[in-house]
A = this chain, B = another copy of it.
């Protein structure tokens, strides 16, 4: 907690990404009536998942063989994520879906800069890092930060027709090991990394979520943009950042087009669902 080597993090939405393949041949083999019943049920269920402060569920297509449909559930806690997962599994439609992968995480703000600042500030106040005064003051500072960034922890789903999701790790190689760097070096690298991202402000929105202890990669990244070329430009440019060049390991990439639950029928007919109106 008070270990200055370990940057603080603040957590917001609990996230469950689900990537499904549609078993199109089975689906088409149903009677029109059976399909209609399954569609109505699914639209009703997914629409009801948009519950404001309690969270929502985003739908996207997925390009390529990794999936056809991706759901991103945003919820207040893991109980609610478990409920969402189980209720999807009970849909008639689910009998014709195959889960390719999922990702369990929490929206996370890394506080590299702020952790260093707070530590410095408390030391200036003469508090000993191991004292309970320090711990209390530290917790108070963090609570303050949490209030300050609440809007980014429990953010509205960003606009953008295209979504790109991928998981990643910081490298723990034998010579090149992020977790063995001094905190000052990590801070410097994160700062530079942030600059690249900021150059893309307005064209792409990034949501980082932490998955350590929850899933098999350390972080998930969701990008939202109106032009998918921006994903390529941003990630390519970042790949030359020292932080990414040396320390980033990337998992599989999932790219798709976002749409509203009420357009699910169109998608299940094999048409590209239209964008969500602005």
Contact = CB atoms under 8 A, between A and B. Distances in A.
A6 B257 contact: no
Given A83-B272, A232-B212, A63 B16 contact: yes
A239 B212 contact: yes
A214 B236 contact: no
A156 interface: no
A99 to B, nearest CB: 4
Nearest to A78: B228
Given A78-B228, A95-B25, A213-B235, A6 B240 contact: yes
B64 A16 contact: yes
Contacts of A173: 174
A78 B229 CA distance: 10
Interface in A207-224: 210, 212-216, 223
A61 to B, nearest CB: 6
A180 B216 contact: no
A124 interface: no
A224 to B, nearest CB: 13
Contacts of A18: 65
A176 interface: yes
Interface string A84-105: 0111011000110001111110
A214 B255 contact: yes
A244 interface: yes
22 contacts: A11-B232, A28-B90, A63-B85, A63-B102, A63-B214, A64-B102, A65-B102, A78-B228, A79-B272, A82-B257, A86-B271, A104-B255, A106-B229, A106-B232, A173-B174, A175-B175, A210-B236, A212-B236, A213-B228, A213-B231, A213-B232, A213-B253
Given A16-B63, A63-B78, A86-B271, 16 more contacts: A6-B237, A9-B232, A24-B89, A65-B102, A78-B162, A79-B257, A172-B245, A174-B175, A175-B175, A177-B246, A179-B244, A212-B236, A214-B228, A214-B253, A214-B255, A216-B252
